[in-house]
Structure 1
């Protein structure tokens, strides 16, 4: 039988390699496009790249403010500010404020800390499931199992993120809630119970009644999923607008989701069945689910429905955005980030060389 911790470690390693390669390819493709414009100066070339997310400090000169970030943060920002040639950019990807390989380091260093995390998650989600069932006048759902796979993930990473240079608004998978032994609030706690209470309160704060409505409203659309418990793990923004959300949900496909289909829609049903989805959706499991609130869910993203029977399956899919991207899509995403709602081929940029919508 496969060692689940080893399986997760290998999945994260593959994800890290593929996400780094995807981001390097994205940057190299943009550099090739910029060089083809035959701009007269390196400064203009660098500015052309600085319109993408996280590159806004590129070639701006000066130094990072002394009161912002750590010494290491400022050192990296200063390297970005000091850039003088477009060809130097690939060597500067490790200076961006997000990891280009998509992996944030673990915050829970020992099995004891991870056990506290999982036990707290289970306790909060059990109460959540009981409350949801009571509100709907349903019988108690029974025990919500511990999300042990999440513990294996947190042994090797605190988050998997897409740096999203392209402004797609894709959500990260960040289930840690920045909780762990290095947390300043946790350091002031008197005992284990108080430490766990910090995490419970963060979960309950982020997963407020409004968030519960958001999760249930989006995932239960058309009775597609049954959700007993879960919590948000991230959201991706364009400006002040959240584009995509990620959640970790104890769910399954609704048993009667196909029972009301019309005979006239057989061809549509066949097309729907061809779209890749979670293979074991009929089973109750903890799943990673990505969704939007202003679109029909579950929509297709990078060739499949964005819900996954395991974290490892999600990590295998998450870097595949690069295969779904071409120059026109890049231009469209950038124009929408500027607030332009057309998909024409114009490269119209906002005057003033400012970051789109104030996003960095």
Structure 2
């Protein structure tokens, strides 16, 4: 038992040391020429070692499981994921010398699969995305392992009061800006963990900032927010924007900390993603496009109301993982996704 306790202490030290290896992610200001008095800020989460916002979640999930005594030196770690969380979890599993299995939908972008394998993870693909939870639980039982279960534990694994969470980082970086207290913070919801952390932090710190969650049109979250009786989507109703939006309401989704939700069509998200990529000179992922659409809608409303201020959102991941999907014109054409009009509209506002 003492050997396991010593191993866990060293595992926690390794994960905490990983955080200290680099500075926090950058906050990038974007002027909006058509929205006088309003500045948009992008919290660039693609600069994490595993390239996405999910690096924060994976770190928190591992620390949570270690400190709860759920992971030991011989534990097989398993996760149900659309890709990015599993990439980050594979990174931490390899750091600790643990076997890691990612249960992913068969449609997950190939570069994400490659990244999971690059970090030493194994892939268990399923044809029906709705079965990832049950399959992950089964594999955990068969291996005597631990199912990290991001969709249940995301909202509780991160300390929302502070301790280096993303909300605390945003407000620290905004201190010297013209409008240091944002009017809005905008994020997406995959597990709901990020929105829960930010929403709780805003209330705990008594900030006037409001939280808007941008959600794919074909996701259950915004429907549940409007009508709590809705908890699942009809079959074959799904978004192609990876990382956000879900077919069922996840346990980590906390609607009561959200001030507003905006539903965004996939084609509009992709058009906005393309426009922002051109503006930045680097590619971003689809969920960042979803966030941008909501930000521009809020900026329009602020201008109409004669308000000045700041809006902060997340650049969730880079676009390299989507070269064969969102940045492949033929892939989009085969799915009849008409994105060019939305790209032109967003480009005119950036």
TM more than 0.5: no
State the structure with more CA Rg: 1
User: TM-score, normalised on structure 2?
Assistant: 0.25
Which protein has greater RCO, CA pairs closer than 8 Å, 6+ apart?
2
What's the TM-score once normalised by structure 1's chain length? 0.25
